[in-house]
Amino acid sequence: MAAAHKAPTLEELGWTPELEEAFKPFALRGLIPGRIIAEHRMACDLVCQRGEFTAEVSGNFRKAAGSKAGFPAVGDWAAIAFDPAARRQTIQALLPRRTRLSRKDPGGEEEQVLAANIDTVFIVIGLDATYNLQRIERYLAAAGAGGAEAVIILNKADLAADTALKIEEINSLGFGAQTLALDSVNMKGYEALAAHIGPARTIVFAGSSGAGKSTIINNLLGRAAQLTSAVREGDSKGRHTTTGRRMFILPGSGALLIDTPGMRGLELWAGELTVDETFEDIQALAGQCRFDNCSHSNEPSCAVREALASGKLDRAHYGNYLKIREEASRLKARTDIAERVKRKAENKRPPETPENTTHKRGRRP
């Protein structure tokens, strides 16, 4: 972690008594804990009590991992077979993830974990031509699915004349997430971040390219730790400047900030229930329909249709809810099939040895 002159303590990295307990079986095997701070193609960087190292997973880990989500993600806690003479340290297992921010892997039908063990997702949205309320709703659903709190950060307030109106519009949808406005050129609004940035709290910055994620991180760190670059004139789209996920320790507050590359799209890795929980306003309306199983299409006394007709429920907001929910139900259908195929294949495999059982437990948080 570039800012630290000496290796941070485990507590500064977010270690808790619960993690200590979960780590006991690995400690008995002589392994030591470390936190993943960056991912590379075939390796990752981690910090442990001995310092910062590059590491890769063991052969057994690789064999047992199965899916992409089983491999180390930034924020994961790993059990390391430490060898001071090795060029790369070896990760034997991962501790179960408390929370995560995931999406559907753009290249396949599986989960991609963008960050693990996070307290808060900062959803960074530019108040420029890229502003899009539906995108905010999508990120909120993703944060909710992974169990993390979300904060909506409307950046580039210097470019917008209607920031207060936009905040009001978001708040009126009742997501329950705080919405903050920042002007990162003139450093305005930063004091409001303090409530979320505390010692050993892990925060992942997510959002489209060019929204200003790395700029905010640099401003907080007080140095140009991450490259930033100007957005395209015309449509304000970013240039995908950040190419990997990386964690930084914030001097002073001790928070752990994860920068991520801007996402072109965020296909959800979430269940229908999470989507319903995110769109609380629609659930509250649905609760007032005459029939419990109202489909809001043609039933009498449907509170959702009435709210749409009166303008109380915004059509675009409702349309986005239906779209995201449909995505979640399609994903469920696909993953159910994949799970059945996998289980069938597993039933044909020879019984597991105690060794590979341990690794399996580590990989399936």
Ligand X SMILES: Nc1nc2c(ncn2[C@@H]2O[C@H](COP(=O)(O)OP(=O)(O)OP(=O)(O)O)[C@@H](O)[C@H]2O)c(=O)[nH]1
Residues 223-242 close enough to bind Mg ion by CB under 5 A: 241-242
How far, in Å, CA of 20 to CA of 72, rounded? 19
Task: Return the one option of Mg ion, ligand X, none that residue 158 interacts with (CB less than 5 to 8 A, by type).
Answer: ligand X
Q: Which residue has the tokens 């401003």?
A: 219
Contact between 262 and ligand X per CB under 6 A: yes
Q: Which is nearer to ligand X, 92 or 215 (CB)?
A: 215
Cα–Cα distance between 29 and 245 in angstroms, integer?
A: 30
Q: Which is nearer to ligand X, 158 or 299 (CB)?
A: 158
Q: Which among 103, 101, 99, 69 has a CA at the least distance from the CA of 269?
A: 103
Among ligand X, Mg ion, none, what binds residue 238 when CB lies within 5 to 8 Å by partner kind?
Answer: ligand X
CB 184 within 8 A of CB 216: yes
Shortest reach from residue 241's CB to Mg ion, in Å: 5
360 scored as a contact of ligand X (CB under 6 A): no
CB nearer to Mg ion: give 214 or 274.
214
Least separation in angstroms between residue 204's CB and ligand X is: 13
Does residue 241 touch ligand X according to CB under 6 A? yes
| Beta-carbon contacts of residue 99 (< 8 Å; ≥ 6 apart) | 116, 117, 118, 119, 146, 147, 148
129 near ligand X (CB under 6 A)? no
Residue range at the interface with ligand X (CB under 6 A); choices 47-55, 146-154, 171-179, 223-231: 223-231
Q: Which stretch binds ligand X (CB under 6 A): 97-105, 151-159, 341-349, 356-364?
A: 151-159
Single residue of 99, 102, 215, 278 touching ligand X by CB under 6 A: 215
Smallest distance from Mg ion to CB 240, Å: 8
- Kindly give the interhelix angle for 133-145 and 163-172, rounded to the nearest 10 degrees: 50
Q: Which residues pair with 213 in a beta bridge?
A: none
Choosing from 33, 75, 238, 365, the residue that interacts with ligand X (CB under 6 A) is 238
Q: Is 102 in the site for Mg ion (CB under 5 A)?
A: no
b/e burial code for range 102-116 (CB count within 10 A of at least 16 → b): bbbbeeeebbbbbbb
Q: At what angle do helices 303-310 and 315-348 cross, to 10 degrees?
A: 140
337 is a contact residue toward ligand X (CB under 6 A): no
Q: What angle do CA 31, 99, 201 make, to 5 degrees?
A: 80
Q: Residue 134 binds which one of Mg ion, ligand X, none, with CB within 5 to 8 A depending on kind?
A: none
| Binding of residue 214 to Mg ion (CB under 5 A) | yes
Sign of CA dihedral 35, 40, 42, 45: negative
Under 8 Å CB-to-CB from 190, ≥6 apart: which residues? 182, 219, 220
Residue 210 interacts with, from ligand X, Mg ion, none (CB under 5-8 Å by kind): ligand X
Sites of contact with Mg ion (CB under 5 A): 213-214, 241-242
For ligand X, the binding residues (CB under 6 A) are: 155-156, 158-159, 183-185, 209-215, 228-231, 238-242, 261-262
